[in-house]
Amino acid sequence: MNRSLKYMLSYAIGLLSPITALADTFAGKVLDETGNPLPGAVVRIDGLKQPVLTGADGKYSFELPGKKTANVVVCFNGYIPKSTVMRSVQSGKKENIIRVSPDPTTLGEIVVTATRTPKALKDVPVVTRVISADDIAKTDATDIQDLLTEELPGLEFGYAMSQETSLNMSGFGGSAVLFLVDGERLAGETMDNVDYNRLNLTDVGRVEIIKGASSALYGANAVGGVVNLITKENTEPWHLNVNTRYRGAGKEWRSGGNLSFNSGKWNSNTSVQYSTKDAIRLTGPFDTESKIHEIYGGNTLNVKERLTYRLSDRLRLIARGGYFSRVSKRSNYDDHYHDYSGGLRGVWDIDKTRSLELSYGYDQYDKARYVGGRLTHDHDYSNRQHIVHGLYNKYWGKNVLTVGADYMHDYLTTYQFVDNEEHSQTSVDAFVQFDYNPLSWLNVIASVRDDYFSASDNNAVTSRVATMFKLKPFSIRASYSGGFRAPTLKEMYMCFDMAGIQMIYGNPDLKPERSHNFNLALERNGRVSKGVLAGQYSLTLSGYYNYYGSRITTMDYPGADGQEAGAIYANEDGVKVTGIDFNGRYRTTFGLGASVSYNYLHVAGRSIDSQFTQPRPHSATWRIDYEKQLCSTYRLYAGLSGRYLSKPVSRYETDGAYSLWKLTIRQHVWRGLDVNVIVDNLFNYKPKTYYWNSAPTDGITWSVGLSVDVDDFFK
Residues 454-502 pLDDT 10s: 988 888 899 999 999 998 889 999 999 999 888 999 999 999 887 777 8
Query: What pLDDT is recorded for position 334?
Result: 93
70 and 124 inside one domain: no
What does the pLDDT average to over 270-274?
Answer: 96
64 and 148 inside one domain: no
94 and 114 inside one domain: no
What does the pLDDT average to over 45-59?
Answer: 80
50 and 170 inside one domain: no
Examine the fold and report which residue of 99, 125, 155 is the final residue of a domain before the chain moves on: 99
Distances (CA, A) of 149 to 131, 184, 253: 12, 23, 20
Note whether residue 367 is domain-resident. yes
Beta strands in 278-398 (DSSP E): 280-281, 294-295, 297-310, 315-329, 334-351, 354-371, 374-396
90 and 134 inside one domain: no
The pTM assigned to this predicted structure is 0.86
Range of the domain at 81: 19-99
Contact 244, 254 (CB under 8 A): yes
Q: Which of 43-52, 79-88, 175-184, 245-254 has the lowest mean pLDDT?
A: 79-88
Query: What pLDDT is recorded for position 12?
Result: 47
The counts of H helices and E strands in the chain are 5, 44
Query: What pLDDT is recorded for position 682?
Result: 95
Minimal CA–CA distance to 615: which of 651, 590, 639, 666? 651
What does the pLDDT average to over 274-303?
Answer: 91
73 and 161 inside one domain: no
59 and 161 inside one domain: no
Instruction: List, in sequence order, every residue forming a beta bridge with 387; answer none if it has no partner.
Output: 361, 408
Cα angle: 176, vertex 153, 677; to 5 degrees: 120
Note whether residue 269 is domain-resident. yes
Q: What residues contact 239, with CB distance under 8 A and at least 6 apart?
A: 35, 258, 259, 260, 261, 709, 711
Minimal CA–CA distance to 590: which of 137, 80, 85, 108? 80
162 and 207 inside one domain: yes
Find out whether the peptide bond into 473 is cis, omega within 30 degrees of 0. Answer: yes
Note whether residue 286 is domain-resident. yes
Query: What pLDDT is recorded for position 211?
Result: 87
121 and 64 inside one domain: no
Query: What pLDDT is recorded for position 388?
Result: 97
Note whether residue 505 is domain-resident. no
Distances (CA, A) of 559 to 1, 502, 552, 562, 567: 117, 11, 19, 7, 9
Note whether residue 593 is domain-resident. yes
598 and 476 inside one domain: yes
Provide the 8-state DSSP code for 200.
Answer: B
Instruction: Decide which of 652 and 309 is more confident.
Output: 309
174 and 306 inside one domain: yes
What does the pLDDT average to over 387-415?
Answer: 95
Contact 211, 127 (CB under 8 A): yes
Note whether residue 270 is domain-resident. yes
Looking up residue 95, the CATH number of its domain turns out to be: 2.60.40.1120
Query: What pLDDT is recorded for position 13?
Result: 45
Percent of the chain past pLDDT 90, that is, above it, reads: 47
Note whether residue 567 is domain-resident. no
331 and 184 inside one domain: yes
Examine the fold and report which residue of 99, 123, 154 is the final residue of a domain before the chain moves on: 99
Other C-beta atoms within 10 Å of 25: how many? 11
Return the SS3 of 343: strand
Distances (CA, A) of 143 to 52, 148, 195, 222, 273: 40, 9, 11, 21, 10
For 139-193, the pLDDT digits (tens) are 888 888 889 988 888 888 888 777 788 888 887 888 889 999 999 999 998 878 8
Instruction: Decide which of 19 and 257 is more confident.
Output: 257
Whether residue 91 is predicted with pLDDT greater than 60 in this model: the reply is no
Note whether residue 232 is domain-resident. yes
For 617-657, the pLDDT digits (tens) are 999 999 999 988 887 778 899 999 999 999 887 766 677 89
Q: Which of 44-48, 365-369, 586-590 has the lowest mean pLDDT?
A: 44-48
* Total domains in the fold of the chain: 2
240, amino acid identity? L
Looking up residue 530, the CATH number of its domain turns out to be: 2.40.170.20
Examine the fold and report which residue of 99, 118, 152 is the final residue of a domain before the chain moves on: 99
